[in-house]
Chain A
Amino acid sequence: MEQAAIETEGLGKSFGSVRALDGIDLQVAPGTVFGLLGPNGAGKTTAIRVLATLIRPDEGRAMVGGFDVVTHPGEVRRLIGLTGQYAAVDELLSGRENLYMIGRLIGLPKGASRSRANELLESFDLADAATKNVKTYSGGMRRKLDLAASLVGRPQFLYLDEPTTGLDPRSRLQLWVLIRELVADGTTVLLTTQYLDEADRLADEIVVIDHGRVIAGGTSAELKSMVGGQVLQVRPAEPGDVGRVASILAEFAGEDAEVHRDSQLATVTISQRSALGQAVRRLDDADIPIDDLALRRPSLDEVFLGLTGHTAEAEADARSEDNSERSLA
């Protein structure tokens, strides 16, 4: 394997009694998108802040581009761009002034700072608002400006902490395109997101963390296969039938079917393909009219819920080791 661009080893960080990072090992290959997933409070932002030299880890080591974040923060800062979870732009300046300021602060000459600012305003559709006060920007515009600010120095490593939160669908798609372009140019992107489809589409590799620990990792396909099997989903024509459908499905799936009352869906995970035919016959025998029946691979959402829903259990520790080994295999 190529030398990792970002590498952490046993990263630990506590805030008082809260263990925000509890021994995180990450290996990010250069020129890839690495997705960091996890529920609220999992430690995603903390991990990014350590890698951005904003806080020091209590334990462990983190290397970015070959530099240790604790002993060589200056070198690391020259390589990274950070878009934090909350937009970090100056409300009292215009969009252009914000970007120009960053250019000057990272040592670009005046002319270059100005042209880089204009270039970025253009590519983020902010040219029309360039001279307006950021105070008057919408949330999405601020977000875009914040992203632009992290790109002023053409960073080799780009950290994006929930970059698309608050963006409309079109802007999200634009950002995805931009990220792919950056990666094609050799940028390494570390991304946290609440949107699993985002990780699914963008990330070459995904790590799921919870309570400051890695609980699973791999490509999105690997993660999906980890949950195993496929998902059979049935919607009866009569809302009242959903209970009966669920019990029929449960019979041959060998597990309780999940029922979504709102969408009138009964869902089970099945392991053999023949189950689909069986299900159709049994439902037909029972004379239950069906509106919709689908067999599909589990979504990353289901993987995610499956993984993080169990972490309260005491054996979480053992399982997290199991999973990370499995994912490397």
Chain B
Amino acid sequence: MSTTTSTRAEGRNRGSALSHTLTIARRNLLQIKSDPEQLIGMTLQPLMFLVLFVYVFGGAIAGSSREYLQFALPGILVQGIAFTGFQTALGLNIDFQRGLIDRFRSLPMARSAVVGGRILADAVRVVWGTLIVAGFGVLLGFRFHGGVAGAIGAFTMVVAFGVTVSWLMAFIGVNARSPEAVNTFGFLLILPLTFASSVFAPAESMPGWLQAFVKINPLTSVVDATRALMLGGPVTGAAVKAVVWMVVITAVFAPLTVARYRRRL
């Protein structure tokens, strides 16, 4: 018996956590091919937000839609990411429903790879969505005033935030009882965070009690930093706050999510 064990095991080296994560990420990206709605959702949805907000509210909020585009584009980039995170939560949750997770957990693979691979795939989606929205914004007349360095900084900030949100959403995904529950929790979390922030309007224009929330909202720091990087202006304060938030959220939710993933039946 022991001889069969070793000959059978020999054919494979165990593979690293990294290669497992890449395999799962590849799987999640391949899914897009057969589920084109996903691609449409992650491309058209942020574009729709951009066009609607800029042309419907722009005049009222900023005096002209052209000026509002400058203000809103960085915010809408960040807001779009919060919605991309939904896919993380839903995807993980559906894997549990379908029993696929059982198969993964019965394999000799890294425990962190299923969640890690999902998040890596979603980072790719974030990059895609960000480039599409930013490109479309430029077509509509958006101008970078922060130079190339600012643009790269803003891009990095946005993608890093995307990964952070994915951890938070992954936590919802592995805890929620059903995809419907994911939707409920996700919206309860994402809607107030995105709207009660500096995404669509400056905090100063809001009543005092709301400003208090807006100012501690992590999205506000991320949006302020991204905006400063794209438009030029003082970056440091907001950027430091944003980075601290991202580190804290990841440090809390990444281990919680992986631990929960291991234990969930």
* Contact yes or no, A107 B106, CB < 8 A: no
Residues of A within 8 Å of B107, CB to CB, are: 77, 102, 105-106, 153
Residue from B14, B19, B99 within 8 A of A84 (CB atoms): B99
Contact bitstring B100-115, A, C-beta under 8 A = 1, else 0 = 1011111111000100
- The answer to whether B100 and A97 have CB atoms under 8 Å apart is no
Bound complex: CA A30 to CA B11 (Å): 22
Query: Number of A residues contacting the other chain (C-beta, 8 Å)?
Result: 43
Determine if B27 is an interface residue (Cβ-Cβ < 8 Å). yes
Q: How far is the CB of A31 from chain B (nearest CB, A)?
A: 9
Contact A93-B27, Cβ < 8 Å, known A135-B34, A156-B8: yes
With both chains docked as a complex, state the minimum distance between the C-beta of A228 and any C-beta of chain B, in angstroms: 37
CA–CA, A301 to B73, complex, Å?
Answer: 69
Q: In the complex, what distance in Å separates the CA atom of A16 from the CA atom of B105?
A: 23
* Size category, B interface: 20 to 34
Flag if A105 contacts B104 (CB, 8 Å).
yes
Contact present for A74 and B108 (CB under 8 Å): yes
Q: Which candidate, A34-42, A50-58, A213-221, A233-241, is the interface stretch facing chain B?
A: A50-58
Q: Does A231 reach chain B (CB closer than 8 Å)?
A: no
At the interface, yes or no: A21 with Cβ under 8 Å from chain B?
no
Inter-chain contact A65/B106, CB cutoff 8 Å: no
| A92-B102 contact given A106-B107, A156-B4, CB 8 Å threshold | no
Asked if A284 lies at the interface with its beta carbon under 8 angstroms from chain B, I say no
In whole angstroms, what is the CA distance A244 to B99 when docked? 53
Per the bound structure, the CA–CA distance linking A108 and B23 in Å amounts to 12
B5 contacts A by Cβ under 8 Å: yes
Given contacts A90-B27, A105-B15, A156-B5, contact A80 B106 (CB under 8 A): yes
Contacts of B4 in A (CB 8 A): 156, 186
Is there an interface contact between A106 and B106, defined as CB atoms closer than 8 Å?
no
Assess whether A91 is interfacial by the CB under 8 Å rule: yes
Task: Tell me the minimal C-beta distance from B262 to chain A in angstroms.
Answer: 10
Whether B11 pairs with A82 at a CB distance below 8 angstroms is no
Q: Say if the beta carbon of B205 comes within 8 Å of chain A.
A: no
Main secondary structure of the interface of A (DSSP, over half): loop
Contacts of B14 in A (CB 8 A): 78, 107
Distance in angstroms between the alpha carbons of A251 and B129 in the assembled complex = 83
Q: Which residues of B contact A149 (CB under 8 A)?
A: 103
Q: Is the CB of A82 within 8 A of B30?
A: no
A94 to B27, CA, bound (A): 10
Option from A74, A88, A104, A156 in Cβ contact (under 8 Å) with B15: A104
B15 and A97 form a contact (CB under 8 A)? no
Query: Nearest-CB distance from B17 to chain A (Å)?
Result: 11
Docked pose: A93 CA to B108 CA in angstroms: 21
Contact in complex: A65, B1 (CB < 8 Å): yes
Is B31 close to A, CB under 8 A?
Answer: yes
Contacting residues of chain B (81-130) with chain A, CB-CB under 8 angstroms: 98-100, 102-109, 113
Q: Report the Cα distance A133→B109, complex, angstroms.
A: 25
Q: Are B27 and A53 in contact (CB under 8 A)?
A: no
Question: Is A101 in contact with B105, judged by CB distance below 8 angstroms?
Answer: no
Q: Is A293 an interface residue (CB 8 A)?
A: no
- Determine if A183 is an interface residue (Cβ-Cβ < 8 Å): no
A179 interfacial contact with B, CB 8 Å = no
Instruction: Please give the distance in Å from B238's CB to the nearest CB on chain A.
Output: 39
Judging by beta carbons under 8 Å apart, are A91 and B109 in contact? no
Inter-chain CA distance A124–B265, complex, in Å, is: 30
Mask, B30-56, CB within 8 Å of A = 1, is: 110011000000000000000000000
Which residues of the partner chain B approach A106 to less than 8 Å between Cβ atoms? 12, 15, 107-109
Q: Which of B11, B30, B103, B265 contacts A108 (CB 8 A)?
A: B11
Would you call B1 and A93 a contact (CB within 8 A)?
no
| Structural contact, A153 and B265, CB atoms closer than 8 A | no
Measured between beta carbons, the chain B residues less than 8 angstroms from A79 are 5, 8
Q: In the assembly, what is the distance between CA of A77 and CA of B4, in Å? A: 15
Contacts A78-B9, A97-B30 hold; do A107 and B102 have CB atoms under 8 A apart? no
Supposing A55-B265, A156-B8 touch, asked if A93 and B103 sit within 8 A by C-beta, the answer is no
Instruction: Let me know if B19 and A104 touch, CB within 8 A.
Output: yes
Could you tell me which A residues sit within 8 Å of B by CB distance? 3, 5, 30, 49, 52-55, 65, 74, 77-80, 82, 84, 86-94, 97, 101-102, 104-108, 112, 133, 135, 149-150, 153-156, 186
* Known contacts A92-B30, A107-B15; 15 further A-B pairs (Cβ under 8 A): A30-B1, A49-B102, A52-B102, A53-B106, A79-B5, A82-B106, A86-B98, A88-B100, A90-B31, A92-B31, A92-B34, A105-B23, A106-B108, A106-B109, A154-B11
A-B contacts, 29 of them at CB < 8 A, read: A52-B102, A52-B106, A53-B105, A53-B106, A54-B105, A54-B265, A77-B108, A79-B8, A82-B102, A88-B102, A90-B100, A91-B98, A92-B34, A93-B30, A94-B34, A97-B30, A102-B103, A104-B19, A104-B23, A105-B15, A105-B23, A105-B104, A105-B109, A106-B108, A133-B34, A135-B34, A153-B8, A153-B12, A153-B107
Q: Which residues of B contact A (CB under 8 A)?
A: 1, 4-5, 8-9, 11-15, 19-20, 23-24, 26-27, 30-31, 34-35, 98-100, 102-109, 113, 265
